[in-house]
Amino acid sequence: MNITMHLLDNSWSKEHTPSMVSKSLFYYLQSAGHFKNGSEYCTRRSDYDSMLLIYTIDGFGTLSYRNQVYSLSPGTVCIIDCREEQVYGTDSKQKADSGSTGREVSGSARSTSEENIWIFDWIHFNGSESRGYVHQILNNTGPVIPIDSSSQIPEHISQIHRLLLDNDECIDIRTSCLLIQILTELLLTVSSRKNDGGIPSTIQKAVSIIENRYQKPIALDELAEELCISKFYLSRQFKLYTGYSPNEYLIKYRLSQGKAMLKETALPVYEIAQRVGFENASHFIQTFKKHENITPLKFRKYWR
């Protein structure tokens, strides 16, 4: 780790050590702060077991992550997994523009707008499924997400900061709730922007083919050939718009049909397996248990 500090007035940071119970149950806060940085500020780091969220208030930062360079401008949220190599700091090539901020900046910050500054709120966090959330966002849109004026994220960050500074006795529970809300809003923002143009007709047709023919074997090569596209392109686009590979979607759909039959009919398991497209009862039972953590017969008993 290599950090060059160039903090100006009103910067602060504070560490937090959650209880072992909180670590086992919650999304938990590790540290947080508010930085007003001069032009020389830079952090280079890797292998740190933490997620980092940065909300840029004024000025400009720059991030090097996953072999790409990103600009961190006012009104953007940056989120990364700090186990991966990252370099971020004040962007010395751009000037702070106090008129473009999404939040009010103090007078002392505005008085330095003639020099290169970067003002941001930040949170280090971890726990529960936080890494899964972060990687879902990263894999869909990358680490930098613009947010609009209606976003609750800046206020949620401020609430976490207040809880930390006030030594709130219920900080672990309350910050867990706020972190979930932040991550959920980011994921919904990413998903809505990704689908602004609608799901491509090719992917809609692929979904329709799978749902109509799920009882029979469906090979990726054959599906791609029928759609007149390469199987590699089909796999990428299908995953992008559905969240599943074609085969994962097929298995998910077969299991959903199988669960409905277990609940609504008295058909034996081997016949249900055959009807929903599994090659034999053993494969059906094995797959069902892998996804549901119970056998088909035990699942049926819960509904009888």
- Per-residue pLDDT at 95: 60
Please give the pLDDT value at position 196: 57
Q: What is the mean pLDDT of residues 100-109?
A: 42
Taking 70 as the threshold, does the pLDDT of residue 75 lie above it?
yes
State the residue for tokens 């409905």.
260
186, 188, 187: which is closest to 77 by C-alpha? 186
Query: Span 59-72, mean pLDDT?
Result: 96
Q: How far apart are CA 67 and CA 60, in angstroms?
A: 20
Residue, of 105 and 22, whose pLDDT is higher: 22
The whole-number average pLDDT for the span 134-142 is 89
DSSP state at residue 280: S
Phi, psi of 22 (to 5 degrees): -65, -40
Token output for 276:
């929903």
What DSSP string describes 160-179? HHHHHHTT-TTHHHHHHHHH
In the chain, residues under CATH classification 1.10.10.60 are 201-302
Place of tokens 């600009």: 71
CATH superfamily of 201-302: Homeodomain-like (1.10.10.60)
Interstrand relation of 28-37 and 61-65 (parallel, antiparallel or unpaired): unpaired
In whole angstroms, what is the distance from residue 111 CA to residue 114 CA?
7
Please list the alpha-helical segments (H only) found in the chain.
Answer: 20-25, 107-110, 130-141, 153-165, 171-194, 201-213, 220-227, 231-242, 246-264, 269-275, 281-292, 296-302
CATH 3.40.50.300 fits 2-194, yes or no: no
Where in the chain are all domains bearing CATH 2.60.120.280? Answer: 2-194
Q: Which pLDDT value is given to residue 199?
A: 79
pLDDT (tens digit, 9 = 90+) per residue, 170-219? 999 999 999 999 999 998 887 766 655 567 889 999 999 999 999 999 99
Q: Are strands 28-37 and 12-15 parallel, antiparallel or unpaired?
A: antiparallel
| 109 pLDDT higher than 60 | no
On average, the pLDDT of the chain sits at 90
**Which tens digit of pLDDT belongs to each residue from 224-267?**
999 999 999 999 888 877 878 999 999 999 999 999 999 999 99
pLDDT tens, 21-58? 999 999 999 999 999 999 999 999 999 999 999 999 99
Predicted confidence (pLDDT) per residue in 118-127, tens digit: 999 999 999 9
Query: Taking every pair of C-alpha atoms in the chain, what is the biggest distance, in angstroms?
Result: 76
Q: How many percent of the chain have pLDDT more than 70?
A: 91
Task: Determine how many CB atoms are found less than 10 A away from the CB of residue 276.
Answer: 19
* CA distances from residue 260 to 75, 254, 276 in whole angstroms, order as listed: 46, 10, 11
What's the average model confidence in pLDDT over 141-168?
95
Statement: residue 102 has pLDDT above 80? no
pLDDT of residue 110: 40
Phi-psi category of 133—alpha, beta or left, where left has phi over 0 and alpha has psi -120 to 50?
Answer: alpha
Tell me, what's the pLDDT at 5? 81
Q: How many helices (H) and strands (E) does the chain have?
A: 12, 11
